[in-house]
Amino acid sequence: MPATARRLVIATRESALALWQAEHVRDRLQAAHPGLEVSLLGMTTEGDRRLGTTLARIGGKGLFVKELEEALMDGRADLAVHSMKDVPVNLPDGFVIAAVSQREDPRDAFVSNHHADINSLPAGARVGTSSLRREAQLRARRPDLVVRPVRGNVQTRLRKLDEGEFDAILLAAAGLKRLGLGARIRSLLEPAASLPAVGQGALGIECRADRADVIEAVSVLADAETWWCVRAERAMSRALAGNCTAPLGGYATIEGGVATLSGFVALPDGSRIERAAEQARTDTLDAEDLGARVAQSLTQAGALEVLKLAEGMV
C-alpha cells in the first residue's frame, strides 16, 4: 500500500444497511493494512430524504450516490461503498469503481408473517415492493395480487409488514442477511422466477479516478469473478437504456469457465416481458461483449419498444 494512504475516509449513507456495508469494508481494509486508519462520513442522500414516492418518479437509484460522489470530489472522503444495484451504469467523469467484493446472495426474498411463499398468497393479498423490476415480474406471475410501493430502510419496511399494512413484502436477500435478519425470509425467489437487479448482492467501492493510492489500497477486496459478472450485467443495461427507470433485470453466473447472462425488460404491469440469455467462455470473450450480446438479443425481441412504453407508464 502506498505510504500516502495511511488514513482513509469512507462516505456512506446512514441507513443501518449502508453503515453495515461501510463498516464491513472498513474492518477488512484495516485487517489487510495494519496501521491504516479508516473512518466513516455519514451522509443523507436525496434518495433517503424523498421517501414519499417511488424511485422511478424522482429520478432513479442514482439519487443514492450523488452526495457521496460530491464528498469524494471535494476531498471530504476518499472512497464510497455502494450496493452495486444502486450505482448508475454510467459513472460521472473522473470516478471509477475501484473494487467489487465477493457477491452475497443475489436473490429476492419473500417475507411474510402468515404465508410461506408467493404461491400461497390468496387473491387480493397486498404485497409491498420498492422495485418496478420485482413488481413487473410479480404481476406477470400473480396478476390477482395487489402490489403497492413501500419505501424506507429495511427496518421500516419490516415494521409496515408487521403492522398489517401488507400481507407480504419483497426485499433483497443480501440486505436481510447482512443485517442479521435472515430468519425473516420465508422463501427465496430463484432467478428464473424473479431475475435480480443488475449488480444485486455485490458491494462496490467508488473513488476518484486519480486516486491511485485508494485504488491500490482497496484492491485486496476485489473478487474477479463477481466483477466479471457485474460488468456484463451493467454493460447489458447500459446498451439498452442507460440509467432508465423502467423494469429491467440482469444476472450473470460463471461455472466451469462459462458465463451465462440472463436479462429482461418489462412493462410495469407485467403484461409484456421480453427475455434473453447468452453464454460465452470467460477466457475468450470480455464481460462487456457478453452484455452487448444479450442487449442485442433483447433489442431484436422488441426491448426498446417495451422500454419506451414503460417509461410512459412510470
- 133 and 82 fall within a common domain: no
- 94 and 161 fall within a common domain: no
Assess whether 86 carries a catalytic annotation: yes
Question: 0.85 exceeded by the pTM?
Answer: yes
Q: Is the pLDDT of residue 61 over 90?
A: no
Q: How many domains are there within the chain?
A: 3
Cα 138 to Cα 115: distance, rounded to the nearest angstrom? 16
Segment 280-308 shows an average pLDDT of 96
Residue 37 lies in a domain: yes
- 154 and 26 fall within a common domain: no
- 275 and 244 fall within a common domain: yes
Q: Give exposure, 168-194, as e/b (b: 16+ Cβ within 10 Å).
A: bbbbbbbbbbbbebeebbbbebebeeb
What tens digit of pLDDT does each residue of 87-112 get? 999 999 999 999 999 999 999 999 99
- 44 and 178 fall within a common domain: no
What pLDDT, on a 0 to 100 scale, did the predictor assign at position 1? 47
Residue 106: alpha-carbon gap to chain centroid: 9
What tens digit of pLDDT does each residue of 254-283 get? 999 999 999 999 999 999 999 999 999 999
Catalytic choice (48, 78, 86, 105): 86
- 14 and 125 fall within a common domain: no
What tens digit of pLDDT does each residue of 133-181 get? 999 999 999 999 999 999 889 999 999 999 999 999 999 999 999 999 9
Residue 196 lies in a domain: no
Q: What is the mean pLDDT of the chain?
A: 92
Please name the residue that has the C-alpha cell 408487521: 162
Kindly indicate the confidence band of residue 52, based on its pLDDT and cuts at 50, 70 and 90.
low
Residue 195 lies in a domain: no
- 31 and 71 fall within a common domain: yes
Domain encompassing residue 300: 231-313
Residue 255 lies in a domain: yes
